Every structure is written in C-alpha cells, then in structure tokens.
C-alpha cells in the first residue's frame, strides 16, 4: 500500500482507532494487531512477499535466543554469521543474482569462453533492502551484548514489519525500536500533533514537489535517449532530479516518522537538511541517516579498526569500500557502484585536505568559505546524481558530456519538433508554479532547520498554525501530482 | 601514572590529531563535546593513542567506552598490566 | 485523546467547506484560478470552454479538435474555439449552444475535425479530464441526454462530478477506458449529438459545416476509403451536414505528422488556406 493512495487514506484512521480504543487494554493484543496491520499493509502489494519477511523474522528470532543461551564466543559468532547468510542470502538472491550472472557471463565471453548462463525472472520484493538490514541489526546488537534477546515472538515480528517504516525506512536499530514494543504506549497529544504536522509536510514534499519534478525529470532523462537536447535543459533536469530525490525520500521519511508518532513510537531522524551541507562528508552525515549510520557502525568502523595500522591507506580503503557498498546497496547496477565509489573518493580527498582547508578557512570570511564549500559539494552531488539516475553508465557519461557540449545552446525549434517535449511546453505554467513551490519548501525548511523536521510550526497564536495547515493542504490538492508515483526508494 | 596524567597526554593527542588548539578534555567529555570528532577521527585518535602508550585495544573495548574518562582508565589498566 | 479527535474532526470538516468554496469559486471565476497558477488538465479545457459564453464579435465560429487548434488556435482569435477531440461531439455541441446564446449575430459554425475525432466514443481514458470534469456542471445539465448521463454516472462517485470541489479532488479521476480499438464509424453519442447539433443550428438559422482535418494516408486503406462511415451517414440521414466532408478530405503521409493527427508546422498554412477555400464554397452566400 502506498502512503499516497486512497487505500492508505482509509487504512490509517481505521487502524488508528482500533489501536487506541479496541486493542489497547492488553499489550500483547496491541502488538498482535500492529503485526496483523503491518502484514496486511505489506501483503497489499503481493501476499507472496510475506513469506520472505517471515523467514527473515523467524530465523533472527531463533538465532537471537541461541546467541543468548551460550557464553562461548565462537558459537555466538557462528550464529551471527548464520544470520548474515540468511538475510544477505535473501537479499543477494532477489536483488543481485541476475546482475552477477550477467556480469559473469560477460566476463567469460571476454576471456573467450562460450558462456550461456540463463538468468532467472525474479521479482524484487519491495523494501527487501530495508527490513533485512533492520533484522540484521537485532542479531548484531544481541551479539554485541547491547540488547538482550527477546522471547516475545509477536513483538519481535511486529518490530521487523512495523508498517510505517517497513518498505523504505528509516531502518531502525533493534536496540532503540524493539524496547518500544515491549512496553505500553501512552497516547501523547503533543507528539500526535507533531506527527500530523510531519505527515502533512511529508505529503507536500512527496506529492507537490517530488512528483511534479518527476514530470520534468522523466521527460528530460527519457527524452535524452532520443537525440540531442540543449545542455542547459539537461542541467536543469539534473538539478530537478536532485530536488526530486530529496523531496521524495525525506517526504517518505517524514510520513513514516509522523505515522509512527500517532501510534506512540519514536523513530530516528532520517534526514537532517542534507542540502545545507558544506562538504560531502557532511552530506552523508545528514542524508539517509538511518542507512549511512548503519553502514558506519556495522561496516566502516570495523573496517577502520581492522586496517588501523596501515597508515593513510587504513583510512582510504575502508572509506572507499564502505561507500562503494552503500552505492551497491541501492541496486544491481554499475551506476550505483560508481556513484558510491566517487563519494568514497571525494570523502578521502576531504579527509586529507582537512588541514589545508582549515588554513584557508582562517584567511577568508566565514560566509565565503561556507558558500564555496556548498557550491563544490552541490556540484559533485548533482553530477553523481546523474549517474545515480541514469539507466546505465554509457547513458550517464553521455548525459554529462552533453551538458558541457552545448550548455548555452537553446534551440527551441529543435525542442518543439519533438512530441515528448510538448507535454513539457504545456506545463510551462506548471514549471513557473513549481519553481515557486520549490523555493517555498526550502525557505520553510531553512526556518525550521534547528528541529528534527522542516515544518515544526509553533506560533503563539494557534490560528496562524491552522492557516498554514490549510495552506499546505490546499497546495497539495491544487498543485499535487496525483498519478500515484511510487517512492523512488521503494525499488532499492 | 594517574588518570589525570593520562588525560593530559590524551589532550595533547586530541590537539594534534584534530588540529584544534583550544580543546580542553575532561573525564566526562564525549564525542558530542568535541567538534570534528566523528567515526573517522575517532579511529585516528585510537591509532594515535595506541601508538603513544604502546597498547592495543579490541573492537569491543573501543565500542564500550562511553567517555574520555573510561578510555583513560582503560589505558591505565593496560599499562599496569604490562608492568606487572 | 478526546481533544485530539475533536480537533482532527474540526480540521477535516472546516477543510471540507473550504474546499467546497474553492471549487465553486474556480468554476465561477476561472480567471482567479488561472492567476494563482492552477493548471490541471480538466481546468485548462474548462477555461477555454467558458469563453464560449463570451461575446465573440464575429459571424462565424470555428470549433474542432486539437488538429484544428493548430490552425485556429484559441489564443489568437475570440472566434477560434477548437479544443481537442476528447471533448467529444457532446462537448462541441455545448460550446455551440453557449456561443449561439451569447452571440445573436452568429451566422455560421464550422466544425473542423479528423474523422476519428468525430467518431470518438465516450469510453476512453481521456474522457474524464476532457469531457466529464469540464462539461458536466449544474449549468450544463440540461444539455445532457439520458444516454450521456447514464454513461457519465456509470460509477457511483461520478455522480458528484457536477460539484466543483470533487473535480479538484486528487483521487477523483475515473477511467472510462475500455480496451476496444478506436472507432472508424460514429459512436452512439457522436451520432446523437451530431443530430442535436444539426437541429440546434437549424432552429437558430445557422449554417453548420463539418470539414475534415488532415488525415494520415494509412487510414484510407485501413477504412477502405471510409466505406462504413459513409454508409452509416447515409443510413442515419446525415448526408446534408456531411456534404463535402469526404470529398474535401486531404491525406498526408505519416511522416508529415508530428504525431497522430497533428501536422508538422510547415504544412499548416497551406492546409488552413485549403479549408477556408472549401468552406467559402460550402457556405451559401446570403
């Protein structure tokens, strides 16, 4: 079930009322209800997907108990590895199997072998990259003794499948989310109002900003394959994609966190205004925090530790390795690998230029330093996002080359002669409105940048809050793009 | 050697690694109190401390230290174990 | 909890009335909606259609599909009102009816449309946003025949389309699509509303001409030179209004179109002159 669908619009209030009024007397019953609602929510796409999530749930539940039963570190480690095998096995089979087969046969052909491996037609279950990592965090935390294993299967299964964050995060750590399932939730008026604010803002970002940007982005990126387009338009397309992907994913996270608040749960902040960052390192501390911190804690840190006596290489290797894997996490495509790799390299450069940059910082005014940092960061981000968006590396490289080839050539006749761009021309009014709306989003988020979400209204006069609520509601209804686009991160 | 001695040496290491002259560490300092202390510099600090005191940490030890004081004590314990 | 539920109920109730008001406001003052940049596709059609109620200051009115709109763009002249083929013949009828009412001097109406646009059936994915939402209003209700009304309200929710706020609602698009291929003979509603259009013009003493838009040559073979449609027109007694329609039909090669029924720019001027020439001959001088 998509958040931006009519079904969810009915699902949410029903589940909310049942949750607080019917099943609230008994914690066990309430958790069972959350589990059932979550499985219903997920099964709405395809009930067959439920078997996978169940497999992942039950194996980690048992492995957690087994780890808790023994004191032998070697055996504990073996159980931990088994959990890796199960979760990453599911992930690799469903997400990367065909990619590896294809690359392997290409390689065999290159060295002269007559390769003929057939790929399987596998559908990628939605959210698989998210819940497998959440389940894994449980076993790791139990192994590291940061969390006692639970005997309560219902609560554990509800933790794994909790519908607000099941399909696209935030990927929660077992040590912070699971305990919330084990104790009774209290309805909190202030938190619920905050939740509603966050949901409203999330819908605005998703339906108004992201999906309207998508119209243009899909046109420009799609059109690009057919022939030549002015570099300026391609550049605008890339910038719009950067805005789209932020509004889409942070919008989703806002809705997820807001919905969880309505049910008395606190999820982690997933975006901390990443586009205010003045370095790539900083962006990654503020972008998709739940996954980047997952990789930081469970992959990057151990790698750093392992390579710590290798001098400078001991810093570069783990960084580049981690970010390449983060890139690959997004999907089985070379574009994602290159995207991650470039970020790893940029961050290594930033690491070793720290002292030089500090010297510069002392010599020039603060605003100049941060705006330069921001420009460089955004430049890198925009161009790596082109790679991220493109269907394959050839198209990505061509796209970037075409931007510089004819950056200032804007031949409208060439544009209008193509039908794909006709829709774009019709939506020129839409373009102007969209520009203002994007500006509006960034201004509001700038005002509330000190908070955990960008729309934490707190006017002294309640009436003013309501004026804003209705304005956002009307903007969604009047300017939203309601073709029910899926969230970008569902495919990862 | 006392905890305060170790802390003083820690302070110098922090200043060198983070290239920030005005760091004043206390036993209660955590990563949040020190600007620029992230997972990257964290490991640089660990390496520098290991080098300086000629000790080695395990992953679990590093992860369980919650503040500078615990880390100082950890170093102190290792040093006394070595001399003993 | 109680406070929360009460507030949320108030929020949605007030929201409903606000939306209702805005829906009515947009229908009555489309200029206002346009000013704030509202540009949903149903509303673009509604806005152009609402110009048919204005004084066009001309004796002749041009209606038609989007192909006609290339030559007679509504942005250029007040008496150019071709919108698109998806407003269907009922839409063209309503435009004509409005224009006749507000323009006593009107002498002729020329409908320029590709035969496929004239044949177009109601059951199509474009119908909701191009015909139902812009034309199904309380004001236009008298123009709706029983057959048409039955088609519009085929699903329970679509009954409410006549209210402005439902048109605004994001989830209100209903797909009238069915999987059948495009028609090459007049659909049931095309037939009914062509008759109504003829009667309307006759009653008001107006010359009605239907001229064909540019047609892709591949349809000549596909339809066996429109044998079926010709026979249908004859059988239904509509030969008078379709006089010259097939004789003046002009074919172009597929590559002379940008897409479907839209001619490439370089052929537009010639084709427009051709239509005007033919139309002069068809309209008796009086």
Question: Could you tell me the two tokens for A116?
Answer: 């003929």
In terms of pLDDT, which residue wins out, A337 or A109? A337
Q: Would residue A150 count as lying in a domain? A: yes
> Taking the CA atoms of chain B, what radius of gyration do you get in angstroms?
12
C-alpha span between A42 and A45 (Å, rounded): 6
User: Are A121 and A217 in the same domain?
Assistant: no
Half-sphere exposure of C181 (CA within 13 A, CB side): 2
Question: Could you tell me the two tokens for C178?
Answer: 């069915």
Banded model confidence at residue C172, pLDDT cuts 50, 70, 90: low
Q: How far is B39 from chain A (nearest CA, A)?
A: 7
Tell whether omega for the bond before A170 is within 30 degrees of 0, i.e. cis: yes
The answer to whether B19 and A358 have CB atoms below 8 angstroms apart is yes
User: Are A212 and A166 in the same domain?
Assistant: no
Query: How far from the centroid of its chain's Cα atoms is residue B9's Cα?
Result: 9
User: Are A21 and A102 in the same domain?
Assistant: yes
DSSP letter at A186 equals: -
pLDDT of residue A491: 63
C-alpha span between C171 and B11 (Å, rounded): 62
The answer to whether A396 and A387 have CB atoms below 8 angstroms apart is yes
- Look at chain A and report how many structural domains it folds into: 2
Are the Cβ atoms of C18 and A470 closer than 8 angstroms? yes
Residue of B nearest to A348 (CA): B40
Beta bridge partners of C211: C112
Look at residue A273 and give its three-state secondary structure: coil
User: Are A334 and A220 in the same domain?
Assistant: yes
In terms of pLDDT, which residue wins out, A117 or C275? C275
C-alpha span between B40 and A318 (Å, rounded): 10
The answer to whether C80 and C73 have CB atoms below 8 angstroms apart is yes
Q: What is the mean pLDDT of residues B45-71?
A: 84
Indicate if A330 belongs to the active site: yes
C-alpha span between A473 and A451 (Å, rounded): 22
Instruction: Convert the pLDDT of each residue in A299-357 to its tens digit.
Output: 988 888 888 888 888 888 999 999 999 999 998 899 999 999 999 999 999 988 887 88
C-alpha span between C267 and C265 (Å, rounded): 6
pLDDT of residue A417: 40
End-to-end Cα separation, chain C, in angstroms: 78
- All domains of chain C, ordered by start, with CATH? 58-125+176-282 (3.40.50)
The answer to whether A202 and A454 have CB atoms below 8 angstroms apart is no
Question: Could you tell me the two tokens for A204?
Answer: 């605005």
C-alpha span between C116 and C182 (Å, rounded): 8
Q: What is the mean pLDDT of residues A468-475?
A: 94
Banded model confidence at residue B35, pLDDT cuts 50, 70, 90: low
User: Are A68 and A151 in the same domain?
Assistant: yes
Long-range contacts of C31-39 (CB under 8 A, 24+ apart): C36/A478, C37/A429, C37/A430, C37/A432, C37/A433, C37/A436, C37/A479, C38/A478, C38/A479, C39/A427, C39/A429, C39/A430, C39/A433
Is the minimum CB–CB distance between A428 and chain C shorter than 8 Å? no
Are the Cβ atoms of A476 and C37 closer than 8 angstroms? no
C-alpha span between A372 and B3 (Å, rounded): 43
The answer to whether C68 and C213 have CB atoms below 8 angstroms apart is yes
pLDDT of residue A357: 86
Question: Lowest mean pLDDT: which of A9-13, A271-275, B70-74?
Answer: B70-74
Are the Cβ atoms of B38 and A305 closer than 8 angstroms? no
Question: Could you tell me the two tokens for C180?
Answer: 């059948």
Sign of CA dihedral A434, A437, A443, A448: negative
Residue of C nearest to A7 (CA): C171
pLDDT of residue A442: 96
Q: How far is C38 from chain A (nearest CA, A)?
A: 7
Question: Lowest mean pLDDT: which of A140-144, A172-176, A221-225?
Answer: A221-225
What part of B 3-62 touches A (C-beta under 8 Å)? Answer: 19, 38-40, 42-44, 46-47, 50, 59-60, 62
Question: Could you tell me the two tokens for A40?
Answer: 């219903």
Question: Lowest mean pLDDT: which of A234-243, A435-444, C262-271?
Answer: C262-271
Question: Could you tell me the two tokens for A71?
Answer: 């004191």
Query: Which chain A residues are closer than 8 Å to C38 by Cβ?
Result: 478-479
Q: Which of A20, A192, A419 sits opposite C258 (nearest CB)?
A: A419
Question: Among the residues of B19-67, which ranges form H helices?
Answer: 39-53, 59-64
Question: Could you tell me the two tokens for B78?
Answer: 């290792």
The answer to whether B75 and B49 have CB atoms below 8 angstroms apart is yes
Question: Lowest mean pLDDT: which of A52-61, A179-188, A319-328, C158-167?
Answer: C158-167
Is the predicted pLDDT of residue A227 greater than 80, yes or no? no
Look at residue A448 and give its three-state secondary structure: coil
Question: With 0-12 CB in 10 A as exposed, 13-18 as middle and 19+ as buried, what is A395?
Answer: middle
Closest to A381 (Cα-Cα) out of A234, A209, A281, A242: A242
ipTM (interface predicted TM): 0.81
Instruction: Quote the Cα angle for A305-A308-A314, to 5°.
Output: 110
The answer to whether A337 and A387 have CB atoms below 8 angstroms apart is no
Banded model confidence at residue A29, pLDDT cuts 50, 70, 90: very high
User: Are A170 and A219 in the same domain?
Assistant: no
Banded model confidence at residue A428, pLDDT cuts 50, 70, 90: low
Mean pLDDT, chain C, as a whole number? 88
Domain that holds residue A64: 6-185
Residue that has been written with the tokens 């950890």 in this structure: B74
Sign of CA dihedral C162, C166, C167, C173: negative
The answer to whether A289 and A170 have CB atoms below 8 angstroms apart is yes
Domain end marker among A185, A219, A240? A185
Mean pLDDT, chain A, as a whole number? 87
pLDDT of residue C286: 45
**How far are the Cα atoms of A394, A428, C21 from residue A219, in angstroms, in the given order?**
19, 13, 35
Question: Could you tell me the two tokens for A418?
Answer: 């193509």
Half-sphere exposure of C221 (CA within 13 A, CB side): 5
Instruction: Convert the pLDDT of each residue in A374-424 to its tens digit.
Output: 999 999 999 999 999 998 898 899 889 888 876 766 655 444 444 444 455
pLDDT of residue C283: 63
Q: What is the mean pLDDT of residues A192-213?
A: 94
Query: Which chain B residues are closer than 8 Å to A302 by Cβ?
Result: 59
Homologous superfamily of B3-83 in CATH? ACP-like (1.10.1200.10)
Instruction: Convert the pLDDT of each residue in A123-142 to its tens digit.
Output: 778 888 999 999 999 999 99
Edge-to-edge strands, sheet with C207-212: C60-64, C108-113, C207-212
Q: What is the mean pLDDT of residues A167-184?
A: 91
Most confident of A186-195, A207-216, A354-363, C117-126: A186-195
Q: Which of C3, C38, C258 sits opposite A478 (nearest CB)?
A: C38
Half-sphere exposure of B2 (CA within 13 A, CB side): 4
User: Are A154 and A227 in the same domain?
Assistant: no
Sign of CA dihedral C47, C52, C58, C59: positive
Are the Cβ atoms of A315 and B60 closer than 8 angstroms? no
Q: Would residue A1 count as lying in a domain? A: no
The answer to whether A485 and A232 have CB atoms below 8 angstroms apart is no
The answer to whether A64 and A145 have CB atoms below 8 angstroms apart is no
Concatenated DSSP letters of chain C: -HHHHHHHHHHHHHHHHHHHHHHHHHHH-HHHHHHTT---HHHHHHHHHHGGGS---SSEEEEE-HHHHHHS-TTT-TTB----GGGHHHHHHHHHHHHHHH-TT--EEEEEE-HHHHH--S-STTHIIIIIHHH-STTTGGG--HHHHHHHTSSGGGGGGGSHHHHH-GGG------SPPPPSS--HHHHHHHHHHHHHHHHTT-EEEEEE--EETHHHHHTTTTHHHHHHHHHTT-TTTTTTTTTT--EE-GGGEEETTEE-HHHHHHHHHHHHHHHHHHSPP-
Is the predicted pLDDT of residue C207 greater than 70, yes or no? yes
pLDDT of residue A418: 45
User: Are A167 and A223 in the same domain?
Assistant: no
User: Are A235 and A384 in the same domain?
Assistant: yes
Q: Any residues with CB less than 8 A from the CB of B54 and at least 6 apart, and which?
A: none
The structural domains of chain B, with segments of one domain joined by +, span: 3-83
Query: Which chain A residues are closer than 8 Å to B47 by Cβ?
Result: 308-309, 314
C-alpha span between A424 and A215 (Å, rounded): 8
Closest to A242 (Cα-Cα) out of A221, A223, A269: A221
Chains C and A, touching by 3 or more CB pairs within 8 angstroms: yes
pLDDT of residue C98: 94
DSSP letter at A114 equals: -
Q: Any residues with CB less than 8 A from the CB of A173 and at least 6 apart, and which?
A: A134, A137, A141, A268, A294
Q: What is the mean pLDDT of residues A202-225?
A: 85
Most confident of B28-42, C57-71, C178-192, C255-269: C57-71
| pLDDT > 90 fraction of chain A, expressed in percent and rounded | 56
Given the residues A276, A288, A309, A330, the one annotated as active site? A330
């Amino acid at each position: 079930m998509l958040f931006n669908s009519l079904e969810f619009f009915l699902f949410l209030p029903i589940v909310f009322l049942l949750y607080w009024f019917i099943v609230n007397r008994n914690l066990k019953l309430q958790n069972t209800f959350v589990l059932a609602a979550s499985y219903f929510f997920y099964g709405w796409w395809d009930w067959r997907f439920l078997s996978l999530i169940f497999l992942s749930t039950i194996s980690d539940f048992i492995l957690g108990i087994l780890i808790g039963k023994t004191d032998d570190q070697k055996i504990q480690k073996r159980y931990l590895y088994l959990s890796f095998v199960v979760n990453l096995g599911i992930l690799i089979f469903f997400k990367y199997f065909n990619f590896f087969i294809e690359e392997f046969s290409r390689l065999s052909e290159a060295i002269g072998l007559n390769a003929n491996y057939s790929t399987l037609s596998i559908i990628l279950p939605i959210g698989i990259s998210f819940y497998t990592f959440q389940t894994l965090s449980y076993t790791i935390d139990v192994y590291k003794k940061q969390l006692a294993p639970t005997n309560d299967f219902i609560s554990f299964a509800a933790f794994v499948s909790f519908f607000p964050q099941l399909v696209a995060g935030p990927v929660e750590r077992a040590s912070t989310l699971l305990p919330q399932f084990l104790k009774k939730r209290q309805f909190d008026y202030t938190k619920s109002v905050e939740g509603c604010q966050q949901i409203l803002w999330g819908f605005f970002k998703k339906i108004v900003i992201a999906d309207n940007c998508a119209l243009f982005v899909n046109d420009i990126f799609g059109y690009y394959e057919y022939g030549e387009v002015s570099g300026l338009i391609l550049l605008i397309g890339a910038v719009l994609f950067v805005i789209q992907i932020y509004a889409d994913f942070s919008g989703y996270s806002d809705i997820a966190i807001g919905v969880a608040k309505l049910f008395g749960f606190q999820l982690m902040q997933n975006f901390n205004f990443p586009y205010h960052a003045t370095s790539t390192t900083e962006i990654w501390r503020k972008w998709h925090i739940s996954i980047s911190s997952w990789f930081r804690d469970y992959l990057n840190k151990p790698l750093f530790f392992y390579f710590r006596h290798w001098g400078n290489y001991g810093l570069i290797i783990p960084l580049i390795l981690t970010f390449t894997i983060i890139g690959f996490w997004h999907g089985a495509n070379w574009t994602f690998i290159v995207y991650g790799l470039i970020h790893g390299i940029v961050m290594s450069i930033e690491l070793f230029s720290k002292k030089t940059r500090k010297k510069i910082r002392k010599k020039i005014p603060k605003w100049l330093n941060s705006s330069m940092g921001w420009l460089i960061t955004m430049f890198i981000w925009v161009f790596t996002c082109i790679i991220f968006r493109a269907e394959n590396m050839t198209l990505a490289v061509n796209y970037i080359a075409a931007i510089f080839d004819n950056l200032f050539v804007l031949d409208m006749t060439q544009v209008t002669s193509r039908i794909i761009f006709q829709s774009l021309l019709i939506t020129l009014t839409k373009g102007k409105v969209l520009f203002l709306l994007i500006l509006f989003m960034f201004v509001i988020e700038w005002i509330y940048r000190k908070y955990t979400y960008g729309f934490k209204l707190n006017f002294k006069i309640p009436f003013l809050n309501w004026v804003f609520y209705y304005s956002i509601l009307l903007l969604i209804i009047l300017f939203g793009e309601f073709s029910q686009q899926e969230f970008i991160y569902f495919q990862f | 050697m006392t905890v305060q001695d170790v802390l003083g040496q820690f302070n110098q290491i922090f200043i060198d690694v983070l290239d920030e002259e005005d760091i004043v560490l206390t036993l209660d300092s955590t990563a949040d109190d020190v600007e620029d202390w992230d997972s990257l510099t964290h490991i640089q600090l660990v390496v520098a401390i290991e080098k300086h005191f000629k000790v080695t940490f395990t992953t679990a030890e590093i992860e369980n230290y919650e503040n500078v004081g615990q880390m100082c004590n950890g170093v102190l314990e290792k040093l006394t174990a070595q001399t003993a | 909890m109680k406070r929360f539920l009460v507030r949320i109920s108030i929020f949605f109730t007030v929201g409903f009335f606000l939306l209702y008001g805005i829906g009515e406001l947009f229908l009555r003052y489309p200029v206002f909606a346009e000013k704030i940049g509202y540009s949903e596709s149903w509303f673009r059609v509604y806005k152009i259609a609402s110009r048919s109620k204005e004084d066009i200051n001309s004796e002749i009115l041009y209606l038609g599909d989007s192909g006609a709109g290339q030559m007679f763009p509504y942005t250029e002249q007040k008496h150019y009102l071709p919108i698109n083929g998806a407003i269907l013949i009922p839409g063209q009828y309503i435009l004509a009816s409005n224009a006749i009412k507000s323009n006593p001097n009107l002498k002729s109406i020329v409908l320029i449309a590709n035969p496929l646009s004239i044949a177009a059936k109601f059951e199509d994915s474009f119908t909701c946003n191009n015909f139902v939402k812009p034309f199904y209003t309380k004001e236009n209700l008298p123009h709706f025949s029983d057959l048409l009304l039955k088609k519009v309200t085929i699903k329970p929710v679509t009954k409410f389309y006549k209210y402005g706020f439902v048109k605004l609602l994001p989830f209100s698009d209903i797909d009238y699509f069915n999987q059948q291929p495009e028609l090459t003979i007049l659909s049931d509603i095309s037939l009914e509303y062509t008759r109504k259009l003829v009667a309307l013009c006759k009653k008001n003493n107006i010359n009605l001409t239907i001229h064909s838009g540019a047609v892709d040559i591949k349809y000549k073979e596909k339809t066996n030179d429109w044998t079926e449609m010709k026979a249908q027109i004859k059988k239904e007694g509509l030969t008078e209004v379709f006089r010259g329609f097939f004789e003046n039909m002009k074919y172009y090669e597929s590559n002379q179109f940008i897409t479907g029924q839209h001619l490439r720019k370089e052929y537009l001027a010639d084709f427009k002159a051709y239509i005007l020439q033919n139309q002069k001959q068809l309209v008796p001088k009086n």
